[in-house]
Amino acid sequence: MSAAAVTSPTAFAWRRALRNRSAVGAAAVIVVVALAAIFAPWIAPHAVDDTDLLRRLQPPAWMDGGEWAFPLGCDGLGRDILSRLIFGARVSISIGLLVVALAVGIGTIAGLTAGYLRGTADTLLSRLAEILLAFPYLIFAVGLMAMTGPGLHNLVLALVYREWVVSFRVVRGETLAAREIEYVEAARALGASRLHIMTREILPNILSPILVVGTVRMATVIMLEASLSFLGLGVQSPTASWGAMVADGRDFLLDAWWVSTIPGLAILALVLSINVASQGFRDAFDPRMRT
């Protein structure tokens, strides 16, 4: 028997994923940003809120007037941009993970309930999801933040309040399809409870699309957090946030482009890496993509 014949589907999928250079490179960027966020207090060259007005708007090290002690330059208060960028990664990643975890958890429970029980539960949850989807996401989040006030906790709640709908619709659709499959019918004929069928029979078989949705939506959540922080409705000073850093430099775009451009490029790199990595690994682990 050949080696290819005994290769497990998981090992085969991992080989496909590792051959996708774009996905591997994007995953490497995500790992680097995550490690920088975890070890920020030890690798940041300066304190995140250290101000020095004598270094106000100091350019990056490769420009005239810059120095390698502040390689990415300083902002309008003389704070080191590199240090704030490293600490800002903590905010983006932690909010992204927390919001996605809560939203996927709520959406999965609601989707399983609506898709399997049908009836009144399905009608009520589906109508609520449709109402929330009728509002543009950013405008909806801005309205909630305006009512509850800025802050980290309110930001997480505002994003979760709308984000769970995406997971709900995916899980509901997968559950509607799975509830008619033979193994579910067999469990129902053996007298298994509804909770057992939903959690032990259906949920393990729909985990793949749930994980894909969670990964893809994390990029969206990071963009929304940055947008709200840019508008002054998200994370508040002195906490470093990439969106707030972009906002801090908007008055100096002509004279000190680096203050806004560098954190903007960081947001672009992280969001693009998450999208590329999730797409690549989804294709690798999806049996329908195999040739």
Three-state SS letters, the chain: CCHHHHCCHHHHHHHHHHHCHHHHHHHHHHHHHHHHHHCHHHHCCCCCCCCCHHHCCCCCCCCCCCCCCCCCCECCCCCEHHHHHHHHHHHHHHHHHHHHHHHHHHHHHHHHHHHHHCHHHHHHHHHHHHHHHCCCHHHHHHHHHHHHCCCHHHHHHHHHHHHHHHHHHHHHHHHHHHCCCHHHHHHHHCCCCHHHHHHHHHHHHHHHHHHHHHHHHHHHHHHHHHHHHHCCCCCCCCCCCHHHHHHHCHHHCCCCCHHHHHHHHHHHHHHHHHHHHHHHHHHHHCHHHCC
CATH 3.40.50.720, applies to 8-49+59-289: no
Average pLDDT of 108-130? Answer: 91
Q: What is the pLDDT of residues 233-254, one digit of tens each?
A: 887 777 888 988 998 888 888 8
Looking at 28-32, 99-103, 179-183, which range is the least confident one?
Answer: 179-183
Q: Is residue 144's pLDDT more than 80?
A: yes
Q: What is the pTM of this model?
A: 0.85
Domain boundaries, the chain: 8-49+59-289
Average pLDDT of 257-282? Answer: 89
Query: What pLDDT band is residue 3 in, cutting at 50, 70 and 90?
Result: very low
